[in-house]
Homo-oligomer: A and B are copies of this chain.
Amino acid sequence: MPEIQDPIAGLLRTYADAVYRKDVDAFMALYDEAVCVFDTWGVWVYQGRQAWRVALEGWLLSLGAERVRVEAEVMRTHCEGAFATAQGFMTYTAVSEAGSTLRAMTNRFSWVLRQRGNAWTVVHEHTSAPADFETAKLVLQRQ
């Protein structure tokens, strides 16, 4: 059986690096042309890379001079042929221009990945945080 290299770690590094550098092209290169994204915030579904790019640009623009550090904690990955999945947590920490920590939140993430040629891309991303039963408000700090 050929050894299948887990593509997840490399993609997560690229994700975190692209967000920190606010590099839209590097970020979008992670995603398949026909990606389907269920994002934590505001919109039921982003269909296709162009729709997702507009959302990303809006987010990065809203940061002003701040930057965001992303730390991923992978719970589980699975690879089968040209197909892979990963589940875990991502913590987003906003950092001021001077380098001080401003706020942080954690999301759960699920990724479905496809390999085309040598490159793996995200064909489905689902991020969320659990909601409080009483208030329906997101709980953004992991207990």
Contacts and interface: CB of A to CB of B under 8 A. Distances in A.
Given A108-B126, A131-B137, A135-B137, 9 more contacts: A38-B108, A40-B130, A40-B131, A41-B131, A42-B130, A80-B83, A85-B85, A110-B124, A126-B128
A126 to B, nearest CB: 5
B110 A39 contact: no
What is the copy number of this chain in the assembly? 2
B44 A133 contact: no
Interface of A: 36, 38-45, 75-76, 78, 80-83, 85, 87, 89, 108, 110, 112, 123-124, 126, 128-133, 135-140, 142-143
Contacts of A129: 44, 131
